[in-house]
């Protein structure tokens, strides 16, 4: 199932991506208002995202995608001032 996944399968329109980011931001704000620490929200978001990606694409494919994260993190792709839709 996962072996045939291409990078493009992770991409959607900018409008869809902005909506998804807005929904996550709203949930994040609600959690903050309820006293949930940011690091717990981050862990929950990563766990939920990985679980869903593995369910859709399989462990092997998602593991290959995750390997690229170290470089992307070091290049600043996930820094606060980064454009999430590039």
Supply the pTM of this predicted model: 0.68
The full 3-state SS of the chain, as one line of letters, equals CCCCCCHHHHCCCHHHHHHHHHHHHHHHHHHHHCCCCHHHHHHHHHHHHHHHHHHHHCHHHHHHHHHCHHHHHHCCCCCCCCCCCC
- pLDDT tens for 36-77 read 999 999 999 999 999 999 999 999 999 999 999 999 999 988
Domain ranges of the chain: 36-79
- pLDDT tens for 24-41 read 999 999 999 999 999 999
Nearest of 65, 67, 46 to residue 57 by alpha carbon: 65
Q: What is the pLDDT of residue 85?
A: 57
């Amino acid at each position: 199932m996962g072996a045939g996944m291409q990078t493009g399968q992770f991409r959607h329109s900018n409008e869809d991506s902005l909506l998804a980011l807005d929904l996550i931001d709203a949930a994040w704000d609600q959690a903050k208002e309820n006293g949930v620490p940011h690091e717990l929200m981050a862990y929950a978001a990563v766990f939920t995202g990985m679980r869903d990606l593995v369910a859709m694409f399989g462990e092997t494919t998602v593991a290959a995608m995750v390997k690229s994260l170290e470089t992307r993190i070091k290049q600043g792709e996930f820094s606060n001032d980064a454009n999430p839709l590039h």
